[in-house]
């Protein structure tokens, strides 16, 4: 080999070594030292959860590889501040203090606070927009005045039902690594996504990808170079707490507001439970003008212990308005929208769904007190129903005996368990209309690989994502734009980029040209 060719080899090796050095200096320090943060607060109908998420500044495909650094449950319930809106902001002090403790002080001024108030505040918004707006403004003011975090008004608000369902779907498919796997595949061959189901405190929601333009989508997201169109729904007043409130209201009304109402879903032998009129018939989801002659300050309910009747009465939640008027619309909205949803659902190919929230809590409790008699992943629907029948057949004394074994459980939850398990079974089987093969592929869980799959994680993921190349963002339901999960080139010197390939080739050609001249 001539000296000129040796020079080519040496130059080539030198360039490779040089590029390797650039790789080390341009990325490793950023990954180990530079992190970004976001605070996401889930203002639910029974409590507020606050999460701190972090991700390395250097992203993959324009998306931060986020992880949860902290999760805090706060006692604050924003919807409880209807009569005192100004107190809402300071009620979140503990959550914000914990967030500060988990974020380096140097990053506070660049960390956004994202708060989504969900169904509890949506209910207030239906009847008192001024109170709802005042509660939200109180939170905005507190964050702006008492912290150095980034407070943008649009990031602290009542979360739309479409976003709540869509962000939950995003969480599941990121944590299950569907997005990451699909990044390597053409759109025509990408893997099927997971659907998302949830029963919260005041609403129930689901989201799933729609396969074609035949079905109109309600939520769009771009993730790892793929666009996803989702069908999302949120049914207000059908979360576990509001559904149970409506169920009791229907019972009392159907039994003519008498002194003692029998609840077939509660165990026989239950001591009478007192329920205030204002806690039942003056609430948004169960409001009813009770005739003056039948109106009482307090109503009493006891157990009937009759599972077949329990199921019939639970189904009435999807068949009757609170005033006992029949309806053919399962979720009773003016447009009877779920009828078209169910028709669209039938067009979607069978896929996997993850069910969480009230689905998980009821199923997990059933499984625990029946000695793990069925599986949650994948879901054993037949085993679930056998366990449900077993629990619904127990007397009050038998339920109390279970507390001696399962000391972490509470009697008030056990008294509602037959109802909730029955409600979920009807929702999946008869209302949503899941087929047997779909139920067999379903997973009931509140987390995947130790990561909570609630909507908050999905919003954090979107917040970590660079805007789409068009800079317009991904369209959202309300016509606004938000950051999309897109593929972009990371900042800094990247030796795998075409620019470095061009330099290497140019050096080689120069060397070869020089050798030819001799």
201 is in an annotated binding site: yes
Contacts of 379-382 with CB under 8 Å at 24 or more apart are: 379/355, 379/439, 379/440, 379/442, 379/443, 379/444, 381/428, 381/436, 381/439, 381/440, 381/442
Active-site residue, 242 included: no
Q: How far is it, in rounded angstroms, from Cα 229 to Cα 7?
A: 55
Helix (H) or strand (E) holding 170: helix 161-175
C-beta atoms surrounding 371 within 10 Å = 8
204 is in an annotated binding site: yes
| Residuewise pLDDT in 10s, the chain (518 residues) | 554 444 444 444 444 444 433 333 333 344 435 899 999 999 988 889 999 999 999 888 778 899 999 999 988 999 999 999 999 999 999 999 999 999 999 999 999 999 999 988 999 998 899 999 999 999 999 999 999 999 999 999 999 988 999 999 999 999 999 998 988 888 888 898 999 999 988 899 989 998 766 666 678 887 777 888 888 888 889 999 999 999 999 999 999 999 999 999 999 999 999 999 999 999 999 999 999 999 999 999 999 999 999 999 999 998 877 777 888 777 777 777 676 666 766 666 657 999 999 999 999 999 999 999 999 999 999 999 999 999 999 999 999 999 999 999 999 999 999 999 999 999 999 888 888 888 999 999 999 888 888 999 999 998 988 776 754 444 343 333 333 333 222 333 333 333 333 334 343 444 444 444 44
Strands 353-357 and 443-444 come out as parallel
Residue 471's contacts (CB-CB under 8 Å, 6 or more residues apart) are: none
The residue annotated as part of the active site, out of 54, 125, 162, 164, is 164
DSSP symbol at 90: G
C-beta atoms surrounding 203 within 10 Å = 29
Cα first-last separation, the chain:
14
Two structure tokens written together for 429? 């089987």
Helix locations, 24-109, DSSP H:
29-33, 93-101
Q: Is the peptide bond before 378 cis (omega within 30 degrees of 0)?
A: yes
Q: How far is it, in rounded angstroms, from Cα 290 to Cα 219?
A: 40
CA atoms within 13 A on the CB side of 353: 27
203 is in an annotated binding site: yes
Where along the chain do its domains lie? 3-32+492-516, 240-318
Two structure tokens written together for 341? 């949803």
């Amino acid at each position: 080999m001539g000296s000129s060719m040796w020079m080519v080899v040496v130059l080539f090796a030198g360039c490779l070594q040089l590029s390797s050095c650039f790789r080390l200096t341009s990325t490793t320090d950023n990954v180990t030292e530079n992190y970004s943060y976001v605070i996401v607060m889930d203002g639910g109908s029974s409590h507020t959860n606050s999460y701190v998420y972090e991700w390395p500044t250097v992203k993959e495909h324009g998306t931060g590889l986020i992880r949860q650094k902290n999760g805090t449950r706060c006692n604050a319930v924003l919807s409880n501040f209807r009569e005192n809106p100004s107190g809402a902001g300071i009620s979140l002090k503990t959550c914000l203090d914990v967030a500060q403790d988990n974020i380096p002080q140097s990053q506070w001024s660049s960390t956004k606070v994202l708060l989504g108030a969900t169904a509890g505040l949506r209910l207030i918004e239906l009847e008192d927009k001024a109170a709802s707006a005042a509660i939200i403004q109180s939170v905005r003011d507190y964050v702006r005045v008492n912290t150095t975090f980034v407070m943008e008004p649009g990031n602290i608000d009542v979360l739309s039902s479409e976003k709540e369902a869509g962000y939950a779907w995003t969480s599941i498919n990121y944590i299950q690594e569907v997005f990451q796997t699909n990044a390597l595949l053409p759109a025509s061959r990408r893997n099927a996504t997971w659907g998302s189901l949830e029963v919260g405190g005041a609403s129930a929601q689901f989201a799933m990808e729609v396969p074609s333009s035949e079905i109109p989508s309600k939520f769009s997201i771009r993730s790892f170079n793929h666009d996803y169109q989702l069908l999302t729904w949120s049914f207000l007043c059908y979360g576990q707490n509001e559904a149970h409130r409506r169920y009791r209201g229907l019972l009392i009304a159907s039994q003519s507001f008498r002194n003692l109402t029998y609840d077939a879903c509660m165990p026989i032998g239950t001591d009478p439970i007192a329920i205030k009129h204002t806690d039942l018939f003056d609430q948004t989801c169960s409001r009813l003008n009770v005739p003056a002659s039948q109106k009482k300050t307090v109503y009493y309910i006891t157990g009937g212990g009759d599972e077949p009747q329990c199921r019939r009465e639970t189904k009435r939640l999807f068949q009757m308005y609170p005033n006992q008027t029949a309806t053919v619309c399962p979720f009773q909205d003016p447009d009877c929208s779920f009828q078209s949803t169910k028709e669209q659902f039938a067009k979607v190919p069978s896929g996997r769904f993850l069910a969480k929230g009230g689905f998980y809590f009821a199923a997990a409790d059933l499984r625990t007190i029946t000695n793990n008699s069925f599986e949650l992943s994948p879901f054993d629907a037949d085993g679930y129903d056998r366990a449900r029948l077993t629990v619904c057949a127990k007397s009050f004394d038998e339920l109390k005996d279970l507390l001696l074994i399962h000391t972490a459980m509470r009697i008030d939850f056990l008294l509602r368990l037959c109802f909730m398990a029955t409600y979920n079974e009807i929702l999946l089987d008869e209302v949503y209309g899941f087929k047997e093969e779909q139920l067999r592929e379903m997973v009931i869980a509140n987390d995947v690989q130790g990561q909570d799959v609630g909507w908050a994680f999905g919003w954090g993921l979107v917040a970590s994502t660079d805007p789409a190349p068009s800079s317009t963002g991904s369209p959202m339901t309300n016509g606004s734009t938000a950051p999309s999960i897109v593929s972009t080139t990371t900042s800094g010197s990247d030796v795998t980029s075409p620019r470095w390939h061009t330099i290497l080739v140019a050096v080689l050609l120069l060397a070869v040209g020089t050798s030819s001249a001799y």
